[in-house]
Amino acid sequence: MTHNPIELFDTTLRDGTQGEAVNLSIHDKLLITEKLDDFGIDIIEGGWPGSNPKDEAYFEQVRRLHLKNARICAFGSTARFPDKVKEDKNLNMLLAAETPVISLFGKTWRFHSQKSLGLSDEQNAELIFKSVQFLKEQGRRVVFDAEHFFDGYKDDRDFALAMLKAAEEGGADILVLCDTNGGALTHEVADIFTDVRKNTKLPLGIHAHNDGDMAVANTLAAVQAGAVHVQGTINGLGERCGNANLCSVIPNLLLKLRCRTRQPVKLEQLTHVSHFVYEVANLAPNTRAAFVGKSAFTHKGGIHVSSVLKDSRMYEHISPQLVGNKQHVLVSDLSGQSNIRYKAKELGIDIPNKREFSRNFVQHIKSLEYEGFQFDGAEGSFELLLRSELNTYHPYFSVTYAKINVLIDDNGIDYAEAVLKVKVGDEIEHTASDGDGPVNALDNALRKALTRFYPEIASIHLVDYKVRVLGERNGTGAKVRVLVETSDGEDSWSTVGVSENIIRASLQALNDSLNYKILKTKKESYAARGVS
């Protein structure tokens, strides 16, 4: 394995945006650029300036950023015709982007050069040589991306190596072997890298796609076989099944292979960077993602939790803090007493030392989950339930009357109204509100009734609302579980309700959500005054 430092090349802004549902504005790309620079990425590939006006504008605006670590890279293809390299529009657009680094891709699979471009072997080699040479003459660092290299090598080794030789003779600074179709296996990558190293003097890089779910493994295999340059995207974004996920590649390089990178990486910010890119791209995070996912260090089984409390190494391959993540314990029908005590400690709640309380509360949780409740996704409701059992919490209000009116007619009118009587202390608030559907009307009416008593609820809003039918064989008479996620702009929490009546289940979840916010506000007020 190489002892040279690894160069990290991020293509989230170029290859990542080719993924389905990934759309980034110029402003989005600039925000991500600054985040990657601060994180410690060496090269940020910003786009293809010859392909669309947005990428051209990005390269114009990115020059105004005061980047501390990263160099910006423009991406494009070799010239179209060997005898018209200097006039080639694409190459000149790359130069016009004024980036210090250019990644240039060329065909290294005869099937592509013949079928796609209609070139002979000699013409394709000349095209690569002259394109690289032209960019080098303009003072750019050239990263040559050998497109479809592994497929091309397996099809015709001599042709693939000859195309690398053309790039090398043209003055390329590094040769990146691309598994463009994502079909290579780890042993193939290792064997091919080993052979290529014997036949070139240039440093090698790897660009892997994930069509066989092997991109991260193939990237690590390439590094072990001598690659000193790694390409990938944050969260594995990219065309089809995506690219090698840098959120997995980087910690494996640093923590498992003990590699060095060209500049320090703020590994403790990895989870934040992952979530930041998801947020800017308006994508839902992958909760099961290695290292950075919410579930990456989550424990549910009672035996696991008991062991983790003694020494987390028993069920965690690294400390979550190393990558900016945190340990998370769920409470469910698989819970043991360790789960309850862990969660209580996490919430800052003192529970009796007597094991009887924990044992009884575990059984209570399991009984509720048997009825359909789910607390591993509704920690707001769990905290209220635990505090209620300890007699340190009582609901701040109760709904004594609820009536929902829904009107749908042939004229396209769709109307919902909720009428509520809400009791707070000795007062009863009688109110009504409409909404986009019965649950929204119910939510609006609850807030309207309670804001006078608890103004803090005015700042919260529903983030997500899920309904799960339980016992599907019962048809429309089956129980439903409603899971509500709420946010106050700083924190978010989830609450649950279960009933055969979807409105009652929704009301349970909404009641818990509002009660949790009121409890949270009171705790913060007590803390500010030094009251325990």
What pLDDT is stored for residue 230 in this prediction?
98
What is the secondary structure of 40-61 as a DSSP string?
T-SEEEEE-TTT-HHHHHHHHH
Task: Provide mean pLDDT across the span 475-479.
Answer: 70
Closest CA to 275 of 247, 251, 243, 255: 247
Q: What is the mean pLDDT of the chain?
A: 89
Q: What is the pLDDT of residues 296-309, one digit of tens each?
A: 877 765 556 556 55
The reported pLDDT for the residue numbered 101 is 98
Nearest to 459 by CA among 446, 447, 441: 447
Which band of pLDDT confidence, cut at 50, 70 and 90, is reported for residue 96? very high
Q: What is the pLDDT of residues 275-290, one digit of tens each?
A: 889 888 888 889 899 9
Q: Which residues pair with 485 in a beta bridge?
A: 464, 494
More confident residue, 8 or 393: 8
Percent of the chain exceeding pLDDT 70 equals 89
Rounded CA Rg of the chain: 29
pLDDT (average), residues 330-352: 65
The whole-angstrom separation of Cα 100 and Cα 71 is 7
pLDDT in tens, 403-430: 999 988 777 778 899 999 999 999 999 9
Per-residue CA distances from 13 to 122, 177, 236, 532 (Å): 34, 20, 12, 49
Q: Which CATH number fits domain 7-265: 3.30.450.20, 3.50.50.60, 3.40.640.10, 3.20.20.70?
A: 3.20.20.70
Which pLDDT score is estimated for 35?
A: 94
Q: Give the pLDDT mean for 103-108.
A: 97
pLDDT higher than 90, residue 476: no
Q: Which residues pair with 104 in a beta bridge?
A: 76, 144
pLDDT digits (tens, 9 = 90+) for 10-35: 999 999 999 999 999 999 999 999 99
* Phi/psi of residue 351, nearest 5 degrees: -120, 155
Q: How confident is the model at residue 2 (pLDDT cuts 50, 70, 90)?
A: very low
Between 51 and 514, the higher pLDDT residue: 514
User: At residue 272, does pLDDT exceed 80?
Assistant: yes
- Label residue 195 by pLDDT band (50, 70, 90): very high
Higher local confidence (pLDDT), 334 or 331: 331
pLDDT at 499: 93
Percentage of the chain beyond pLDDT 90 is 64
Among the ranges given (86-90, 153-157, 329-333, 354-358), the one the predictor scored with the smallest mean pLDDT: 329-333
Q: What is the pLDDT of residue 311?
A: 64
Beta strands in 108-200 (DSSP E): 141-147, 174-179
Q: Read off the pLDDT of each residue in 391-398 and give the average, rounded to a whole number.
A: 92
pLDDT of residue 51: 79
Per-residue pLDDT tens for 125-150?
A: 999 999 999 999 999 999 999 999 99
Q: What is the signed CA dihedral for 245, 247, 249, 251, rounded to 10 degrees?
A: -170
| 464 compared with 189, residue with greater pLDDT | 189
Residue 224 pLDDT > 60, yes or no? yes
pLDDT for 333 = 46
Q: How far apart are CA 248 and CA 38, in angstroms?
A: 18
Per-residue pLDDT tens over the stretch 232-264? 999 999 999 999 999 999 999 999 999 999 999
pLDDT score of 295: 81
Average pLDDT score over residue span 172-197 = 98
- For residue 336, what pLDDT is reported? 56
